[in-house]
Amino acid sequence: MEKRLKLYGFNNLTKTLSFNIYDVCYAKTEREQKDYIAYIDEQYNSERLTSILCQVTEMIGATVLNISKQDYDPQGASVTLLISESGLPEKIDRSCNCGKYTAAYAGDATIAAHLDKSHVTVHTYPEYHPDNAIATFRVDIDVSTCGTISPLNTLDFLIDSFDSDIITIDYRVRGFTRDTSGKKLFIDHKITSIQDYIKDETLRRYDTMDINVYQANIFHTQMLIKELELQNYLFKTDVYEIPPKERLAISNSLRREMIEIFSGTNVYE
């Protein structure tokens, strides 16, 4: 077990993990595209997302103070969890629901809650464009913690929770804390790359790229799926129903879409 740092007072470091994934699908007709969006919306509704975030909270050893969740029309969902580093504080704002989402908070009600030290949020963005028959599903997850807990150990679970073709991960440690001698500590754990916290089996499936600013404790990793098995990207269509030349064209179209998202630029214009 890693030796704990002896600190003066509270650990004031803020550790923020931003996890962004894209799932890409080929849906040829307008009807298929709308059906895909409806399917994704159901698969990743606020209930399922809340379950995922609660597991993340448990994994980092935190306690849920409050849950706010919402499904949107025509599509998409958002969930926010306010969390505590350890057990429930003795004094807690009465507006907090301690993780219990009840009918009292449904509809257009606004939830105001006490934020103890940390929060976890997720937002989904399903979309498609009728001209190129490609639909995408984006998930943004942010885990921000104060104190000793760190969200990095949840990465494998988050990656496995979604069909991830492109993954973008940012991790930053802000602020400083002090040891008992008064020396400032701007980071309290060792890290050379976000990839250090992702299992080898997962890394073998992706092409990866790092951009790290060590002096500022800023770490960035991008991941692009290597193998594209066309059947996995066809919505309600069997690959053998498609002529070979069209299969190749679809595969190329999907790969171009992924490369542009990974690169953050319109490469093929």
Query: Out of 84, 146, 150, 164, which one is annotated catalytic?
Result: 146
Take residue 201 and report the two structure tokens written for it: 């089996």
pLDDT higher than threshold 50 for residue 104: no
User: Which residues make beta-bridge pairs with 256?
Assistant: none
Tens digit of pLDDT for each residue in 228-253?
999 999 988 899 999 999 999 999 99
Query: Out of 46, 84, 118, 161, which one is annotated catalytic?
Result: 118
Q: Say if CB 72 and CB 78 are below 8 A apart.
A: yes
Which residue shows structure tokens 């307008």?
Answer: 30
89 vs 146: CA distance, rounded Å? 15
Q: Against a cut of 0.75, is the pTM above it?
A: yes
Active site residue 114: no
Tens digit of pLDDT for each residue in 1-44?
445 556 555 667 888 999 899 999 898 887 888 888 888 888 88
Take residue 193 and report the two structure tokens written for it: 């790359």
In which band, very low, low, confident or very high, does the pLDDT at 101 lie, cut at 50, 70 and 90? very low
Active site residue 146: yes
Which of 57, 71, 51 is CA-nearest to residue 124? 71
Tens digit of pLDDT for each residue in 107-153?
332 322 333 457 788 888 888 776 778 888 888 888 888 767 778 88
Backbone angles phi, psi at 200, to 5 degrees: -60, -40
Alpha helices, H only, 137-213: 155-161, 200-203
Q: Say if CB 232 and CB 205 are below 8 A apart.
A: no
Query: Out of 18, 54, 114, 123, which one is annotated catalytic?
Result: 123
Secondary structure (3-state) at 164: coil
Active site residue 25: no
173 vs 220: CA distance, rounded Å? 12
76 vs 51: CA distance, rounded Å? 16
